[in-house]
């Protein structure tokens, strides 16, 4: 080979080498790129696997039940939640037909499957399931289809949330909202909506329905004397006796206030049947109660309103049954009364008077009259009893017996009584500046006023405002006041007494209080009811009662007042037997302040 030839070959080889080198470099870079690609996709795969693992764990540990079946309903997968809630192990379930397991109590899921198959869409509902230990649980369930590429269903996926606790809580809240927690009867709120419903169906069926209002007699007294615990037990017994008496499917019983119960009796054949039930209620609730080892007595007053005659609306029916109940109470308690047209008139009149009474204060329609009291053999010669008068714009004078009761019933007495006290105080101050004779003032106080927490405080304010001498004021209370809540009333009366006021028991002899009880009250005066003074001259018994009451008062260190003295003979008998104070038409009727002063100034000591 010539040199030239060799050179050429070398040159050729060199070029080839160069080419191959370039090719290798290219191949190397491709390789590098490829391996980078492989690396990356490997990374992705690792991540995907880890994601899948996480997802599996998430599904497995989810508090939601996840269950998958194939198209035939054979279970392929369940998560842990399922085993926890149902008590079945995975092995007991996987591979089995979901319907054969008895997991699901109702038919709803089958309807769901049908829906999913037809619509290829999600179905949701609520079902009941039962566990291995036969515990029933409630599930919120959704069933969704799993589709292949051709949009054919291959599997069903069940997601279920255990809502047992939530449902129980909902039920508890519902019960709390609709039932009385002490007796488990319906409460005021729910009986009202039940009543509205029953009115609609009674109207539709043209059937007779009645509302029965029950109030336990003297329950407050039992509560106050024996404590709330005993009172609660009694109310529970009342509730169970009512449930035992009114147990037809359509009877609804509610406790709507402290000792107030309401019953709806549906589909009554006739009113006589309602009366039969009312009588049974009165009888059964009047039987003795055994509470906390004590035997207690109470009875019900029952009022009945019948739909449609006695009212069209729930409100009206309850109001009228309530009015009938009041009527039963007034008629000696322990009985029942139907609402009547006359009662209706009475209620309407009461409503009207209440409305007018609210305005009477503002319209200056109220006035105080004063009836003189003659003090016999006392350094103090005269007293007066302040008696309220209402001059109604249309009706003229309305009897206080009538409107005071309304004011008490309808929550007006505190304001009204406050006006009386203030007006009487003003009069007292006025007299003390114009009259040379000292005059003592007696003021009637209703039990409801004394029971009001503001009373003592407000009384003190008025004493300061008018600078009156409390010793010149006697507050008249009835026996019944101290009967309602003896401990509390005695405490309040003592506070009033410590302010300097005197206290008198009014209408003595008409209440039920025992003498030992009267002895415990911080009172100074006993005022015998005027019914005993009446016909005292003809009725030997009344005369004896007066005489005995006078000596009793003196034994207890009390002043004795006779009111309603109408004749000279009565006045003489009472004076002869040691009565301390006389009051009545025989001396003077209740009159306006100026006339009372004239009487007192002109009065010459009578000799009997
Ligand atoms: P009460 O406290 O027993 O008052 C005595 C009632 O007997 C008064 O009736 C009086 O006019 C009447 N009366 C006085 N002397 C005689 C008499 O010789 N014969 C007869 N038959 N009656 C006589 P009034 O004024 O109609 O008051 C009735 C009731 O109304 C009072 O009975 C009292 O319970 C209540 N009342 C009157 N004013 C007030 C008041 O300001 N506050 C409160 N809470 N109740 C009052
Ligand atoms: Ca009185
Ligand atoms: Ca009286």
478 CB within 6 A, ligand 1: no
Instruction: Specify if 470 maps to a domain.
Output: yes
Residue 477 CA to ligand 3 centre (angstroms): 9
User: What pLDDT is stored for residue 605 in this prediction?
Assistant: 61
Q: SS3 for 65?
A: strand
Residue 384 CA to ligand 1 centre (angstroms): 12
* Nearest ligand to the C-alpha atom of residue 371: 1
Question: How many Å apart are CA 129 and CA 187, to the nearest integer?
Answer: 33
Q: How many CB atoms lie within 10 A of CB 332?
A: 9
Alpha-helical segments (H) within 361-391: none
Instruction: Specify if 71 maps to a domain.
Output: yes
What Cα–Cα distance (Å) separates residue 200 from each residue in 87, 225, 256? Answer: 48, 44, 22
Question: How many Å apart are CA 404 and CA 406, to the nearest integer?
Answer: 5
User: What pLDDT is stored for residue 522 in this prediction?
Assistant: 94
Residue where a domain stops, chosen among 127, 162, 197:
162
Q: Residue written as tokens 């309220």?
A: 388
Question: How many Å apart are CA 261 and CA 331, to the nearest integer?
Answer: 19
Question: How many Å apart are CA 108 and CA 382, to the nearest integer?
Answer: 90
Question: How many Å apart are CA 222 and CA 205, to the nearest integer?
Answer: 43
Tokens of 549: 């009451």
* Nearest ligand to the C-alpha atom of residue 528: 3
Atom of ligand 1 nearest to the CA of 417: 42
Pick the residue whose CA is nearest to atom 41 on ligand 1.
388
427 CB within 6 A, ligand 1: no
Contact criterion met (CB below 8 Å) for 587 and 372: yes
Please check whether residues 68 and 54 belong to one and the same domain: no
Residue 582 CA to ligand 2 centre (angstroms): 13
Residue 387 CA to ligand 1 centre (angstroms): 6
Q: For position 85, which CATH number holds?
A: 3.30.450.20
Residue 401 CA to ligand 3 centre (angstroms): 11
* Nearest ligand to the C-alpha atom of residue 372: 1
446 CB within 6 A, ligand 1: yes
What lies within 8 Å, CB to CB, of 35 at 6+ separation is none
Question: How many Å apart are CA 432 and CA 425, to the nearest integer?
Answer: 11
Pick the residue whose CA is nearest to atom 23 on ligand 1.
564
Instruction: Specify if 394 maps to a domain.
Output: yes
Residue 381 CA to ligand 2 centre (angstroms): 19
Instruction: Specify if 608 maps to a domain.
Output: no
Q: Which of 285, 247, 286 is nearest to 263 (CA)?
A: 247
Q: For position 277, which CATH number holds?
A: 3.30.70.270
398 CB within 6 A, ligand 1: no
| Mean pLDDT split into 10-residue runs, the chain, 608 residues | 85 91 92 92 92 89 91 92 87 86 68 88 86 85 92 92 86 84 92 93 91 93 88 96 92 94 91 91 96 90 94 92 92 90 81 93 94 87 96 94 91 96 98 93 95 95 97 92 73 96 92 71 94 91 93 94 97 96 97 96 70
Residue 488 CA to ligand 2 centre (angstroms): 22
Q: What are phi and psi of 436, to 5 degrees?
A: -75, -20
Please check whether residues 205 and 147 belong to one and the same domain: no
404 CB within 6 A, ligand 1: yes
418 CB within 6 A, ligand 1: no
542 CB within 6 A, ligand 1: no
Q: Residue written as tokens 């209408």?
A: 507
Do strands 260-268 and 208-216 pair parallel, antiparallel, or not at all (unpaired)? antiparallel
Q: Which of 423, 414, 500 is nearest to 455 (CA)?
A: 414
User: What pLDDT is stored for residue 599 in this prediction?
Assistant: 95
Residue 152 CA to ligand 3 centre (angstroms): 96
Contact criterion met (CB below 8 Å) for 306 and 338: yes
Q: SS3 for 207?
A: coil
Helix (H) or strand (E) segment spanning residue 291: strand 289-291
E strands along 217-269, which residues? 252-257, 260-268
Please check whether residues 106 and 41 belong to one and the same domain: no
Q: Can you give the C-alpha Rg of the chain in angstroms?
A: 45
What Cα–Cα distance (Å) separates residue 480 from each residue in 145, 485, 518, 563? Answer: 77, 10, 11, 19
Instruction: Specify if 454 maps to a domain.
Output: yes
Domain that holds residue 265: 173-339
Atom of ligand 1 nearest to the CA of 388: 38
139 CB within 6 A, ligand 1: no
Question: How many Å apart are CA 586 and CA 605, to the nearest integer?
Answer: 14
Residue where a domain stops, chosen among 305, 339, 373:
339
* Nearest ligand to the C-alpha atom of residue 510: 3
Pick the residue whose CA is nearest to atom 20 on ligand 1.
564
Please check whether residues 183 and 307 belong to one and the same domain: yes
Please check whether residues 154 and 180 belong to one and the same domain: no
Instruction: Specify if 333 maps to a domain.
Output: yes
What is the tally of structural domains in the chain?
A: 4
Please check whether residues 446 and 332 belong to one and the same domain: no
Please check whether residues 125 and 221 belong to one and the same domain: no
User: What pLDDT is stored for residue 526 in this prediction?
Assistant: 94
Question: How many Å apart are CA 461 and CA 470, to the nearest integer?
Answer: 12
Atom of ligand 1 nearest to the CA of 586: 18
Please check whether residues 72 and 138 belong to one and the same domain: yes
* Nearest ligand to the C-alpha atom of residue 373: 1
Atom of ligand 1 nearest to the CA of 527: 3
Tokens of 478: 């009835």
Contact criterion met (CB below 8 Å) for 371 and 387: yes
Q: What are phi and psi of 492, to 5 degrees?
A: -65, -45
Please check whether residues 36 and 86 belong to one and the same domain: no
Atom of ligand 1 nearest to the CA of 401: 30
**Residue 362 burial class via C-beta count within 10 angstroms: exposed 0-12, middle 13-18, buried 19 and up:** exposed
User: What pLDDT is stored for residue 241 in this prediction?
Assistant: 97
Please check whether residues 423 and 534 belong to one and the same domain: yes
Report the residue among 400, 448, 584 best suited for mutation to probe ligand 1: largest number of ligand atoms under 8 A from its CB.
Answer: 400
Question: How many Å apart are CA 67 and CA 160, to the nearest integer?
Answer: 8
Question: How many Å apart are CA 357 and CA 410, to the nearest integer?
Answer: 10
Residue 370 CA to ligand 2 centre (angstroms): 11
Tokens of 387: 């008696």
User: What pLDDT is stored for residue 99 in this prediction?
Assistant: 79
Instruction: Specify if 405 maps to a domain.
Output: yes
Q: Which of 443, 496, 474 is nearest to 380 (CA)?
A: 474
Question: How many Å apart are CA 155 and CA 144, to the nearest integer?
Answer: 9
- Half-sphere exposure at residue 469, Cβ-oriented, CA atoms within 13 angstroms: 8
Number of H helices, E strands in the chain: 22, 21
Please check whether residues 414 and 474 belong to one and the same domain: yes
Atom of ligand 1 nearest to the CA of 368: 41
Pick the residue whose CA is nearest to atom 43 on ligand 1.
444
Residue 434 CA to ligand 1 centre (angstroms): 26
User: What pLDDT is stored for residue 168 in this prediction?
Assistant: 85
Report the residue among 396, 443, 444 best suited for mutation to probe ligand 1: largest number of ligand atoms under 8 A from its CB.
Answer: 444
Q: SS3 for 196?
A: helix
Question: How many Å apart are CA 353 and CA 350, to the nearest integer?
Answer: 5
Please check whether residues 119 and 201 belong to one and the same domain: no
387 CB within 6 A, ligand 1: yes
Q: Name the maximum alpha-carbon separation found in the chain.
A: 186
| CA–CA–CA angle 321, 233, 299 (5° rounding) | 40
Residue where a domain stops, chosen among 162, 191, 206:
162
What lies within 8 Å, CB to CB, of 403 at 6+ separation is 353, 357, 390
User: What pLDDT is stored for residue 512 in this prediction?
Assistant: 60
Give pTM, 2 decimals.
0.60
Pick the residue whose CA is nearest to atom 12 on ligand 1.
564
Residue 415 CA to ligand 1 centre (angstroms): 19
Q: For position 400, which CATH number holds?
A: 3.20.20.450
Question: How many Å apart are CA 448 and CA 531, to the nearest integer?
Answer: 24
Instruction: Specify if 344 maps to a domain.
Output: no
Pick the residue whose CA is nearest to atom 25 on ligand 1.
387
Q: Which of 249, 251, 254, 252 is nearest to 238 (CA)?
A: 254
Question: How many Å apart are CA 520 and CA 11, to the nearest integer?
Answer: 143
Q: How many CB atoms lie within 10 A of CB 222?
A: 22
């Amino acid at each position: 080979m010539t040199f030239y030839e060799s050179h050429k070959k070398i040159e050729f080889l060199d070029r080839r080498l160069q080419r191959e080198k370039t090719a290798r470099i290219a191949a190397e870079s491709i390789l590098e790129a490829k391996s980078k690609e492989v690396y990356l996709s490997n990374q992705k795969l690792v991540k995907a696997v880890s994601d899948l693992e996480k997802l599996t764990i998430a599904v497995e540990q989810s508090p939601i039940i996840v269950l998958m079946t194939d198209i035939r309903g054979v279970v392929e997968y369940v998560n842990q939640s399922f085993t926890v809630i149902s008590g079945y192990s995975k092995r007991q379930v996987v591979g089995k037909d979901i319907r054969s397991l008895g997991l699901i109590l109702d038919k709803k899921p089958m309807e769901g499957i049908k829906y999913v198959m037809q619509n290829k869409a999600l179905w949701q509902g609520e079902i009941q399931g039962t566990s291995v230990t036969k515990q029933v649980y409630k599930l919120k369930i959704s069933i969704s289809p799993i589709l292949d590429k051709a949009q054919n269903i291959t599997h069903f996926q069940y997601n279920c949330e255990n809502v047992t606790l939530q449902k129980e809580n909902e039920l508890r809240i519902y019960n709390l909202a609709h039932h009385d927690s002490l007796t488990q009867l319906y409460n005021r709120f729910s009986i009202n909506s039940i009543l509205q419903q029953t009115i609609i169906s009674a109207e539709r069926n043209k059937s007779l329905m009645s509302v029965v209002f029950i109030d336990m007699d003297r329950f407050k007294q039992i509560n106050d004397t024996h404590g709330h615990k005993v009172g609660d037990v009694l109310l529970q017994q009342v509730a169970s006796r009512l449930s035992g008496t009114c147990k037809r499917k359509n009877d609804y019983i509610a406790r709507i206030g402290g000792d107030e119960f309401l019953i709806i009796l549906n589909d009554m054949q006739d009113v006589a049947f309602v009366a039969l039930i009312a009588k049974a209620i009165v009888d059964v609730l009047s039987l003795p109660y055994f509470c906390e080892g004590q035997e207690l007595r109470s009875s019900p007053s029952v009022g009945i309103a019948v739909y449609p005659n006695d009212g069209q609306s729930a409100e009206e029916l309850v109001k009228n049954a309530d009015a009938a109940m009041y009527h039963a109470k007034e008629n000696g308690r322990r009985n029942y009364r139907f609402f009547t047209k006359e009662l209706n008139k009475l209620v309407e009149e009461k409503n009207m008077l209440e409305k007018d009474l609210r305005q009477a204060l503002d319209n200056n329609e109220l006035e105080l009259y004063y009836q003189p009291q003659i003090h016999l053999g006392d350094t103090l010669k005269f007293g007066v009893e302040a008696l309220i008068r209402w001059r109604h714009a249309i009706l003229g004078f309305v009897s206080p017996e009538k409107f005071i009761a309304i004011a008490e019933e309808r929550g007006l007495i505190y304001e009204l009584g406050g006006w009386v006290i203030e007006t009487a105080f003003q009069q007292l101050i006025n007299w003390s500046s114009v009259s040379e004779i000292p005059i003592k003032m007696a003021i009637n106080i209703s039990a409801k006023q004394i029971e009001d927490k503001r009373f003592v405080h407000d009384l003190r304010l008025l004493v300061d405002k008018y600078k009156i001498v409390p010793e010149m004021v006697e507050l008249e209370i009835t026996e019944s006041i101290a009967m309602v809540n003896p401990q509390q009333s005695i405490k309040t009366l003592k506070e009033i007494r410590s302010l300097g006021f005197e206290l008198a028991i009014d209408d003595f002899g008409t209440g039920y209080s025992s003498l030992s009880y009267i002895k415990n009250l911080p009172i100074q005066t006993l005022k015998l009811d005027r019914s005993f003074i009446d016909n005292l001259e003809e009725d030997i018994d009344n005369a004896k009662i007066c005489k005995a009451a006078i000596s009793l008062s003196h034994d207890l260190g009390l002043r004795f007042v006779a009111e309603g003295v109408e004749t000279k003979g009565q006045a003489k008998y009472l004076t002869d037997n040691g009565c301390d104070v006389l009051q009545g038409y025989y001396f003077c009727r209740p009159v306006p302040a100026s006339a009372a002063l004239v009487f007192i100034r002109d009065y010459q000591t009578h000799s009997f």
